[in-house]
Structure 1
Amino acid sequence: MEKSLFKKFKVIVLVVSILMISVFSAACGSNASKNDTNNNTATKQEPAKKLTVFAAASLKESYTEIGKQIKNDKNIDVEFNFAGSQQLVASINQGVSADVFASADTKNMKTLSDAKKVDKDVIFAQNQIVIVKNKDSKATINSLKDLGQDGLKLVVGDKSLPAGNYFYKALDAAKADNTIDQATYDKIIKNIKSQELNVKDVVSKVNLGDADAGVVYKTDANNQEKLQVITDEEFSKLQVDYPIAVVSDSKNKDTAQQFVDYVTTGKGKDILKQYGFSVK
């Protein structure tokens, strides 16, 4: 009888032991699975790659949107510096750190290229120079020559600013091909009340009514309810190209090139189109 009870006790102990081993193994497997999941999550949540992009002020809206999209698509966190192209060139020449430079003209890009400050550049968009008039202004403007009418307050970009340089180039061409005479030319120059270093400041002054009209990029007039846009044949003749390049001293060249590729292909091109730029 005692032997029978002893055998039954041994069987119970053995069964309990097996059950405990099974539970322990399952728990270990579950923890291992959780650890694997955590490791995979950690891998996916790698720190964003940092990038500094110097870009012409007229690119502010489109590039801000591109910055948001490339963060989602490529995990690249972009810090932008928007200003007149000539101001950005001066900063890069002075040694201010940047990874990418996008200019509103080829002239400023060539300045950096000649100084070996940027790698090979590529044209990524085109724009158009237009006249914008405050809708509350009593001035009647249909073309460039109307900017010479008596009493008109005109604001343009400084000659060092691409938009300003384009304006003066078109004005000189209009005089050369007799679209306007010397008297009209002189009146237009006289009507210029300020020359801005940033195209956004030109837009702002016309918007606020500090000027009747200004000369800016077509894209700067987008979604500006107070502005009337006037196109002119002399401005339409201008080739307004936007080049982009990796800065030669960049410490993030691979990431910088990713940004350039993003701007010049696919989603980046689509965003530029949405903001009124022409792209090929």
Structure 2
Amino acid sequence: MKESLFKGWKLTLLVLSILIVTVFTAACGNSTSENNAANNTASGSKEPPKQITVFAAASLTESYTEIGKQIEKDKNIKVTFNFAGSQQLVASINQGVNADVFASADTKNMKTLTDAKKVDKDVIFAKNQLVIAKNKSSNASINSLADLGKDGVKLVVGDKSLPAGNYFYKALDAAKADNAIDQATYDKIIKNIKSQELNVKDVVSKVKLGDADAGVVYKTDANNQKELQVITDKEFSKLQVDYPIAVVSDSKNKTAAQEFIDYVTTGKGKDILKQYGFSVK
């Protein structure tokens, strides 16, 4: 009898011990889960970044690369860039190459896509200026547009299909029409052109390497280049060099694409563009 009661108590104590251990383990487990959740929140763990592809004019390379780094930190948007001549980017978009945002160095190329209904409504986000970039090691005496017609000057410009090239030829024609240069000087400048590039960065590169005495590029491309002397001309200052941006109509990431545009046109994005020499409102 006593032995049976003793065994019964032992069994009861064993069951109680198991229950206590189970409850304690569950409580610890809940506490650990809550602590982990709190730690994850405190450490700033977040969802995978939204991803977009931005097609942008080559002259935006430095500024947009910096914007891409900042927007990933601030908005958790990872940007893949394709930098090239605006006309080349238009051709790619027309061929169906995947893109979410298009930023052009002129309104002409943007209008091509707008007319084809390839982009949504665009907005001007920056302005630039055309300048003469002279290699500092060159012996050529260049202080104005007219000087590009001097004997022996080797000149590199953008192709007419490239915004920078189109702007140059517009300024050249306007200078002749305004009698700022005569027909003979006009002809000499044309004769001195040794190559016409499809990318403004290639113009800069040829001048820096000494393949040309001077090139016509954007102010933002020539600024802070130790090999280059920047020369302004009043004929260039008459040009309206606007940079428009728009969401590509076929984009599968329109919300993130619009977030990128909003970032470029406000606050930190505008500040970065200013740092790289662009004019912004």
- TM score, norm. by length of structure 1: 0.91
User: Alpha carbons of 1:38 and 1:179: their partners in 2 closer, same or farther (altered >3 Å)?
Assistant: same
Aligned partners of 2:143, 2:220: CA distance in 1, in Å? 19
Over 3 Å counting, the alpha-carbon distance change for 1:43 and 1:276 in structure 2 is closer
Once the two structures are TM-superposed, the CA of residue 39 in structure 1 deviates from its matched residue by 6.9
Give the stretch that moved more between structures: 35-44 or 81-90.
35-44
1:243 paired residue number: 244
Q: Which amino acid aligns with 1:114?
A: D
User: Residue 277 of structure 1 corresponds to which residue in structure 2?
Assistant: 278
Distance (whole Å) between structure 2 residues aligned to residue 222 and residue 210 of structure 1: 19
C-alpha distance in 1, partners of 2:101/2:18?
A: 67
The residue matched to 1:82 in structure 2 has which SS?
Answer: strand
* C-alpha distance in structure 1 between counterparts of 2:247 and 2:19, whole Å: 66
Report the CA distance between 1:43 and its aligned residue. 9.1
How many Å apart are 1:24 and its aligned residue? 3.9
Q: Name the counterpart of 1:163.
A: 164
Q: Distance in 1 between matches of 2:61 and 2:231?
A: 22
CA offsets 1:170-197 (integer angstroms, 9 cap, x no match)? 0000000100000000000000000000
User: Does the alignment pair 1:93 with 2:65?
Assistant: no
- Structure 1 alignment gaps of length 5 or more: none
Cα distance in 2 for partners of 1:262, 1:275 equals: 16
- Amino acid aligned to 2:189: I
Counterpart amino acid of residue 32 in structure 1: S
Partner of 1:61: 62
Letter in 2 for 1:137: S
Partner of 2:136: 135
- State how far apart, in whole Å, the 1-side matches of 2:244 and 2:153 are: 34
40-49 vs 156-165, greater mean Cα deviation? 40-49
Aligned residue number for residue 173 of structure 1: 174
Letter in 2 for 1:250: S
Corresponding letter in the other structure for 1:104: A
> Are residues 1:149 and 2:150 paired?
yes
- Post-superposition offset of 1:225: 0.2
1:211 maps onto 2:212 in alignment:
yes
Q: For residues 108-119 of structure 1, what are the structure 2 equivalents within 5 Å? A: 108-119=109-120
Q: Which residue of 1 aligns with 2:222?
A: 221
